[in-house]
Structure 1
């Protein structure tokens, strides 16, 4: 089960675990899919897991994995061998070999995000892969607080809210990485303030996609800030505000077009629902983004047209031996 819970991994108990008097192995995997991201809680007797070159060659998985240690563990990825205490994290790339191991009972929370989703919004420094992200990173702490809240009452989310929550978690993941790249601690307060404001502005934009006049100027008016402030906040997040609005409109439209339950809606109605009133304009923008017309996209095999690898199925495995 550990081999398949996130991406294909080679997993094996450590020698002293295999020699346990009762011969039992205990572990659990809890999985939650939230639209663009997945969250997996993994607990295991002492074990070594590895993403091997062989597994990479025979799979098409393309994810970044933020592995957050809940107990002491260590990882090896790229040129970094990293020891982690509880609360520390490490960013792993499923397209590169890596290892994780725990000499005692291992416990990780893993946030996985398609690589294409992250690279569209964040220009990542290469050396962040495999490097320890300390538990004191405030964005990481906010992310973990959100994960803990999700686990407090499983099944309590309102219908249809998973994707919106997933977008919020993906923004927090990006903010966690950006915090690590900030070289000036004296600016941390201002940066954190802009990032918090950015999350609120992005949420506002998603909730008002249907309004054709949604624009950076409208965001500035709604939040009582200058257009320049909006521009700076969004560019720190990796996209200009205009591009964020455009990309979010097209991604939302793509999800609707790929949903068999929405086949009764005309393409023009889908376009209007994301604030694009001209069918020809929508068709041109959509083709430029996805390489297919909206009509062809709607009838393409699900998950293939968008260019992102399909998500893994959610599953929950109870504790047990």
Structure 2
């Protein structure tokens, strides 16, 4: 990888592709707390050393989580974000970040490439490898964080897609760019309906990565990614079914259990573990929804396929460090 400091960005037009359709439900939005003054990170002359995969960017004003996707509004003056190799935790789950400038420019250096974007363009980078992101002037942008697994992209796949500008005026990129622009400019006005927008953010982000993959990947890789997205959509639609399991999923999609396990292993997780995490994520979203405060905690678990109050409480505490009841009380008392 060349020395990032020696690179100079140039504008690179991105190819335009036909849109694809990926079904996703609309998860409930969970507000993400932003520490006063921004996240805790090393600041040095306008440089933020990014230490964690999901570390908020300095200048984050507001942030919302839609299922496995976090959307944040970031603004500030000229600065650099640097992700050194020595700071990268190879154990944690990697994150893909998609930037949509509202004002100003964003320069991204990663994987031996560099790209420059302005509104309405999009560009992505990957937390699992070193990168540099530069905002050379005052800026406002929307930062989208999504796990590799959620969009069916492996680490090798992601390396082909980073630091390349995506046009934001045609096709799927235009739809996502317009939606993020609206959230960035009018987030407070639509806050009461933000959960309804969550499904669009998740679906369009996954669909856009699928479209990009069609341009650079072999047919077998495209088919595998499409299968992964279908499996994920199926699981989310059937979370409440107590007999949902890797065996039933494999049978429903006419594949062997071994092949299903192999696909998930590429993301460092088993199908059973992913199903459990999705159930817990659904429960956390519903516990954070004020409109469901009348619903007993045990029923929240059952709606996601987690039967037995003590069993649900133990799994939730192991995953999030607090019981479902305590999580709801903390949110109501906040």
Normalising by structure 1, report the TM-score.
0.56
Partner SS, residue 261 of structure 1: helix
Instruction: Report if the CA contact (8 A) 1:267-1:295 is conserved.
Output: yes
Partner residue, 1:50: 79
Q: How many residues align?
A: 247
Aligned to 1:99: 134
Question: Does residue 143 of structure 2 align to residue 133 of structure 1?
Answer: no
1:73–1:83: 8 Å Cα contact kept in structure 2?
Answer: no
Q: Deviations over 1:49-105 (max 9, x none)?
A: 42479xxxxxxxxx9642368999662558978244786724277xx9731348xxx
SS in 1 for 2:147: helix
Gaps of 5+ in 1: 1-6, 12-30, 54-62, 305-321
**Contact kept in structure 1, 2:288 and 2:328, CA below 8 Å:** yes
Q: Take 2:135 and 2:160, find their aligned partners in 1: how far apart are those partners?
A: 14
Distance 1:270 1:215 in 2: 20
2:114 match: 82
Residue 225 of structure 1, CA deviation: 2.2
Task: Deviation per CA, 1:103-125: give whole Å up to 9, x if none.
Answer: xxx99984412xxx637868858
Report the CA distance between 1:32 and its aligned residue.
11
Alignment counterpart, residue 144 of structure 1, candidates 173, 176, 187: 173
Report the equivalent of 1:267.
Answer: 297
Distance 1:79 1:247, change over 3 A: closer
What is residue 192 of structure 1 aligned with on the other side? 222
Q: Counterpart of 2:134 in 1: which secondary structure? A: strand
Q: Which runs of 5+ in 2 are unaligned?
A: 1-37, 40-44, 47-61, 83-94, 184-189
CA RMSD of aligned residues (A): 5.1
Equivalent residue number for residue 98 of structure 2: 66
CA distance in structure 1 between the partners assigned to 2:143 and 2:206 by the alignment: 12
Residues in 2 aligned to 1:152 and 1:131: alpha-carbon distance in whole angstroms: 21
Higher alpha-carbon deviation: 142-151 or 251-260: 142-151
Question: Once the 2 structures are TM-superposed, how far is the Cα of residue 209 of structure 1 from its aligned partner?
Answer: 0.6
How far apart are residue 266 of structure 1 and its match?
1.1
User: In the aligned structure 1, how far is the partner of 2:124 from the partner of 2:180?
Assistant: 21
Distance 2:246 2:256 in 1: 10
Distance in 1 between the 2:182 and 2:148 partners? 32
Provide the residue aligned with 1:281 in structure 2.
311
Contact 1:79–1:130 at 8 Å: present in 2 too?
no
Tell me the residue number matched to 1:207: 237
Q: In 2, distance between residues paired with 1:70 and 1:144?
A: 15
Q: What CA distance in whole angstroms lies between the structure 1 residues aligned with 2:237 and 2:209?
A: 21
1:195-251 superposed Cα distances (whole Å, 9 cap, x missing partner): 112112111111111000111111122222222332233334553221111001001
Question: Which of 309, 312, 320 is residue 290 of structure 1 equivalent to?
Answer: 320
Q: Which residue matches 1:167? A: 202
SS class of match (1:133): coil
- Specify the alignment match of 1:241 in structure 2: 271
Instruction: After superposition, give the CA deviation of every residue in 1:171-193 in whole Å (9 maximum; x if it has no partner).
Output: 4577689x59xxxx7x6211111
8 Å CA contact 2:179–2:201 kept in 1: the answer is no
Q: Which structure: larger Rg?
A: 1
Q: Is the 8 A contact 2:103 2:141 kept in 1?
A: no
Give the TM-score, by structure 2 length. 0.54
SS at match of 1:132: coil
1:112 pairs with 138, 144, 159, which one? 144
Distance 2:171 2:79 in 1: 28
Q: Compute the displacement of 1:295 (Å).
A: 1.2
For 1:92 and 1:267, locate their aligned partners in 2 and report how far apart those are by CA, in whole Å. 37
Equivalent in 251, 257, 277 of residue 281 of structure 2 = 251
* Contact 1:283/1:293, CA 8 A, preserved across alignment: yes
- Correspondence for 1:225: 255
